Amino acid sequence: MLGNFSYHNATKLYFGPDSLDYLNEELPKYGKTVQLIYGGGSIKKNGIYDAVVAILKKNGKTIVEDGGVMPNPTIDKVRDGVRIAREGKVDLLLSVGGGSCCDYAKAVAVSVNCPEDPWEKYYVRYEEPDCNILPIGCVLTMAGTGSEMNGGAVITNPAQKLKRGHVFGQEAMPKFSVLNPKFTMSLPKRQMIAGIYDIFSHICEQYFSGEDDNTSDYLAEGLMRSVIHSALIAVENPEDYEARSNIMWSATWALNTLISRGKTTDWMVHQLGHAVSAWTDATHGMTLAAVSLPYYRLIMPYGLQKFVRFATEVWKVETQGKTDLQIAEEGLAEMERWMKKIGVALHISELGATPEMIEGIADSTNLLRGAYHPLTRDEVVKILKESL
Amino acid sequence: MLGNFSYHNATKLYFGPDSLDYLNEELPKYGKTVQLIYGGGSIKKNGIYDAVVAILKKNGKTIVEDGGVMPNPTIDKVRDGVRIAREGKVDLLLSVGGGSCCDYAKAVAVSVNCPEDPWEKYYVRYEEPDCNILPIGCVLTMAGTGSEMNGGAVITNPAQKLKRGHVFGQEAMPKFSVLNPKFTMSLPKRQMIAGIYDIFSHICEQYFSGEDDNTSDYLAEGLMRSVIHSALIAVENPEDYEARSNIMWSATWALNTLISRGKTTDWMVHQLGHAVSAWTDATHGMTLAAVSLPYYRLIMPYGLQKFVRFATEVWKVETQGKTDLQIAEEGLAEMERWMKKIGVALHISELGATPEMIEGIADSTNLLRGAYHPLTRDEVVKILKESL
């Protein structure tokens, strides 16, 4: 049942092998000075940096450099980015990289004209921006987070061992995003796989909540089937454009609010994954994969019908002569087989977590209430131990 | 495979039983004079007119009346609406009705500041607007066309027996649309059913084209399954809010360009249906239903694999021991059973078409090239005769 909600997503997307050319259409809409945000420098090796700089220069832009955004962007880096933007009096933040860079750009965009500390304002008090927000453009080089068409910005506070997300409104979302599937081919295979699981988890975490009949869940099933199918092809051949393009497009629609319209959502796998990352600095998508199965097996009896639907609609589990519980368990077993085939991490120990960290990770885990079964802290510890 | 394309859809949607309240947020963004567009007056009987007028008055608006938009809006009515808008110097077109009213509003919006005749400019020469476009808001009372979140405007020229569509760009799309599923319950059941088939046909006509693997087709399958499921419930009980809300939301996403991204599309059923409407003035959705099965059975051998996929993914046809052709035929047989259950027209003779009209309808049919098998005029005649 779809109750009261609104939907508004004005981000303009340019997709495909020639999509970078459209920067030439977008850049003239903004002022002269562009803060060029990127990560560890891989875009300098694969030619994307040079291509973007050439277009910026052609359009008469002054470039203010802001490289070195880490995979889990820190609040200190955000503070540094804010300083760069203020000193450079920049007119546009252009993120060239994966979701980390785009998340970081949003955190900078909402803080440049704000006198308060961004961590305190947005990640402790969870206030909304009450200052002018800088416009953001995004050239995406990794499929996964969906940051290119949403308002989410996940930032890490290493000193406090906290990794937290804030979903900002329309004004902090990218004005435009360039999605070239070929750019994603420059990534190491492990990063591709982590991104694929991040996408799949986004869909699951919106799907596994609520008992109603809801169009959003049918759309979610369509996206899941597309991702499952294309992932198997992309893992065999990362150069397969068809698979990589479907993965990239699915990533955007998995987390641009569409499939959560009119329904409740879960998001506990992300809370668990964030806590693991905060302690290990492990790759986001892999942390989600490593905690997913123990989590879903724990909540499954409380949302049995949805897990039965997941098994039959997504994994084509045969139902004849089986109990609902057997069907639901087979669905998760199929999911596990797929996870093994694509090669995600299935244990947090693979990601650097140790038995000594369990209590600390549990302390860092934000407990949400949207799931079929809201977790207790003891259950968080149980899941983490099973994930080890 | 997703090649080069762009996606931009900035229409703001307010959904749910309380969504009309959000007019109070939107109206202040526009000037003082509002052209209130509606149809045959049913909104005056069911209270929607009074509710909208009260909100307009509360927001200090001057109302310019423009009622009497017909189910197939004519070009003469458009010319009349342009005159009303010019004389009233209106600032906003507010359409309160179904897709016909919203389509009409778009045709007026792109013509008010344009000196040329709208039929010649937009429906003969298919030019793009090169004048200021009036902003449009939409309060939707019928689910079907998707007009509330797209740029399409279908207009009929009765003198020439032509019904033609023009898809305008972002600026002619509604700035906001109010989608209240309860408003759709005020419709006669037959109108609801026609709307449901219109939705289903929109999805099919984007799905049945192309041989590639494409995320858009997975999303289309999700939408189809949602519509098929909810339609059966809504036909039994038109007051079922859950079913009506899912149908309304599916309608929007079936035709707001999402599921056509990166793929070819067909749209011949709409061309055939438009030609039948131009000769009979029959309800749009019913004309589509009446020509669909003969059309799909004719093109099926040319796109066999997609029809097999349709049968298995959408209709859960069992495949064991069957040829592809048998599976595909069973898929269409399942579709026919569903069409009978919901009660759509299966013959154009039910809609007022006569054997004498066949050649004329064939002459009015616009032949497109996106399908698995582009039709010849002889094949159009064959389909129309089978539809009789």
Complex ipTM, two decimals? 0.96
Considering only CB atoms, B242 lies closest to which of A8, A213, A248, namely: A213
A chain contacts of residue B6, beta-carbon cutoff 8 Å: 12-15, 22
Whole-angstrom Cα distance, residue B229 to residue B243? 8
pLDDT in tens, B153-212: 999 999 998 889 999 999 999 999 999 999 999 889 999 999 999 999 999 999 999 999
DSSP states along B109-168: HTTTT--S-HIIIIIIS-PPP-SPPPPEEEEE-S-SS-GGGS-EEEEEETTTTEEEEEE-
pLDDT at position A2 is 82
pLDDT at position B227 is 98
Tell me what percent of the residues of chain B surpass a pLDDT of 90.
Answer: 96
B320 touches chain A (CB under 8 A): no
Whole-angstrom Cα distance, residue A122 to residue B102? 40
Three state DSSP letters for B278-310:
HHHCCCHHHHHHHHHHHHHHHHHHHHHHHHHHH
pLDDT in tens, A88-129: 999 999 999 999 999 999 999 999 999 999 999 999 999 999
Residues A361, A276: contact at Cβ < 8 Å? yes
A chain contacts of residue B219, beta-carbon cutoff 8 Å: 219, 222-223, 226, 253
Residue B1 has pLDDT above 80, yes or no: no
Separation in Å, CA of A313 to nearest CA in chain B:
9
| B10 burial via Cβ count (<10 Å: 0-12, 13-18, 19+) | middle
pLDDT in tens, B91-104: 999 999 999 999 99
pLDDT band at B41 (very low <50, low <70, confident <90, very high): confident
Closest by CA position to A234, among listed A343, A326, A333:
A343
Nearest CA in chain A to B178: A6
pLDDT at position B241 is 97
User: Which of the residues in chain A have pLDDT under 50?
Assistant: none
pLDDT at position B186 is 87
A chain contacts of residue B225, beta-carbon cutoff 8 Å: 218, 221
Whole-angstrom Cα distance, residue A208 to residue A323? 20
Q: Is the dihedral of CA B83, B84, B85, B87 positive or negative?
A: positive
Whole-angstrom Cα distance, residue A185 to residue A301? 40
Residue A195 C-alpha from the chain's centroid:
8
Tell me what percent of the residues of chain A surpass a pLDDT of 90.
Answer: 96
Q: Pick from A6, A199, A263 the residue to mutate for testing the B interface (most B CBs within 10 Å).
A: A6
Mean pLDDT for chain B overall: 96
The number of C-beta contacts closer than 8 angstroms across A and B is 140
Q: What is the pTM of this model?
A: 0.96
Residue A352 C-alpha from the chain's centroid:
21
The three-point CA angle A335-A341-A347 to 5° equals 70
pLDDT at position A186 is 87
pLDDT at position A173 is 97
pLDDT in tens, B279-324: 999 999 999 999 999 999 999 999 999 999 999 999 999 999 999 9
Nearest CA in chain A to B314: A313
Nearest CA in chain B to A315: B313
Residue B371 has pLDDT above 90, yes or no: no
Q: Do A261 and B248 touch (CB under 8 A)?
A: no
Q: Do B230 and A218 touch (CB under 8 A)?
A: no
Whole-angstrom Cα distance, residue A223 to residue A249? 10
Q: Work out the average pLDDT over B55-67.
A: 98
Separation in Å, CA of B113 to nearest CA in chain A:
25
Q: Do B12 and A6 touch (CB under 8 A)?
A: yes
pLDDT at position A371 is 87
Residue B369 has pLDDT above 90, yes or no: no
pLDDT at position B163 is 86
Closest by CA position to A148, among listed A159, A156, A157, A140:
A140
Structure tokens at B261: 């991204």
